[in-house]
Structure 1
Amino acid sequence: MPLSEHEQRMLDQIEQALYAEDPKFANTVRQTTPAVHYKRWIVKASIGFALGIILLMAGVFLQQPVVSIIGFVAMLACALWGMSGWRRAAGGGGTEKTAAASRPKQRRQQRPGMMQRFEERWRRRQEGDQ
C-alpha cells in the first residue's frame, strides 16, 4: 500500500532525525535485511541442535532416560526452528501468501478491492471532499 505524500514527508523527517541523532544505529538498521535475521536463527538452531546431541549422548552414557528425552526434544525443536529460518532466508516459506503472489492479479485490475476503497475514502476525507 503506497503512502500518501504527507505520510512520506513525515517518514522522511523521522528518518533524517534518526540519522542526525544516532548515525551508527541508523546505518546498522538500514544495512540489516530480514535474511540476515533468519541466518542468525539458523546459527542459533545449529548450536541448540549440537547441545541436544550432547544431552542425548550424556543421557545414554549416564543411563538417565529423562536427560536423553530432553536432548531429543531439544534437537527436534532446533531442527524445526532451523528449517523455518532456512526457508525464510531463502525467500520461500511455502505459504499460500507466496503462492497467491505468484498468480496473475487479474481480479484486482478489474475491480478495486475493499482496502483500495477504504484508502480512497480516507484520502477524500483528508482532502475535505467528504
Structure 2
Amino acid sequence: MPLSEYEQRVLEQMERQLSADDPKLATTLTTPRRRTGRKIIVATVGVLVGLLLLVLGVVQSSAVVGIFGFLVMFGGVTYAVLGPSGAEGSGPQGVVNDSGHVTPHARQRGRGKARGESFMQRMEDRWDKRKDGGL
C-alpha cells in the first residue's frame, strides 16, 4: 500500500531532521554495508575448515581439536559479520540540506568542554533548542 502525500512529506521532513540532528547516524543508516567477495570467501573457508576440524575432533574423541575447530568456525563468522569492510575513513561527510545535497561540515568536538559545560548541560541545551525549533 503506497504512502499518501501527507505521509511522504512527513517522512521526508523526518529524514531531513535526522540528517540535521545527527549526520553520523543518518550516514550509517543510509549507507549500505559493502562486503567484498574476498571477505566472504575467506569467511566461508574459515567456517568450512573449522567444521572439518570439529568433526575430526569428534571422530577422534579429541576435545582439543574439536574446540580448535569451533574457534576457527566462530572466527570465520565473526570476520564475515564484524569490522569495516573496505570503508576506511568513511563516515559522515557533512550535513544534508533541504535540496538533498551534502554540505561539508567542520569537526566541532569538545566545543562545550572549552566553555566549561558538563555533558548533561550540553545535552539539556540541545534538547531546549530542539523543543524551541531553533535547531
TM-score by length of 1: 0.41
TM superposition score normalised by structure 2: 0.39
Flag the structure with higher helix content. 1
